[in-house]
Structure 1
């Protein structure tokens, strides 16, 4: 399974924000530049992360973005579930009729469903804090002040 860019960017934004000092704000431009990602793409991602309640967005001249929760409370599996729009890894996982002729008896669907469940279960074992255990190294790679 391949995560969408949307989910990838969502996780990158959360990682970046987790590297900031408590209460320190980031802005879309600095995150976009750190990752070499389009500012327009990040605007949509940040809007959705705000709606999810994992980040706070503060408007105005001195505004910015920060985590709404401690990194220990942001579950990676939950973020992936909320940012991915399609877990139908094969056609027969969808809601509509399948064009696959073996679909009624196929054992592969069960295997793939188990694999998907295991994939998400592993992601559920990790929080944002688990991901950013080496903040110094992350900050260096992202060009952030130490």
Structure 2
């Protein structure tokens, strides 16, 4: 498995997710809309690395999503500079519509497995349609072994 030893900035753009994620009924990957129908292409992504993904708000924009009464989710407005945690898991890159590497996601670890919520729906809805910096951070997990320190985990 590739190792992620330092934060990796994936890019800046308007946070969105592939429409195919909705068709799958899954919250698994995100993309960055650059405007004019262009999306960020994610190169040199550490596929398989264990990571935490965040979106740091660079510009607050209008929320486009409606409340989702089924999931009890209501869009909220983030603060400028806020770091929104999108999830933890193993990095993957879906090519759901044959458009190339325009999405990046995190497959959940077994202990956090949910069939349709691989990323945080709350985080995704909070960051959707805002200009963000998308970053992967090293994530070493946790341990219940009391003989190991957090630094050794």
TM-score band w.r.t. shorter chain: under 0.3
TM-score (norm 1): 0.27
TM-score (norm 2): 0.26
- More strand by percentage: 2
Q: Which has the higher contact order (CA 8 A, sep 6+)?
A: 2
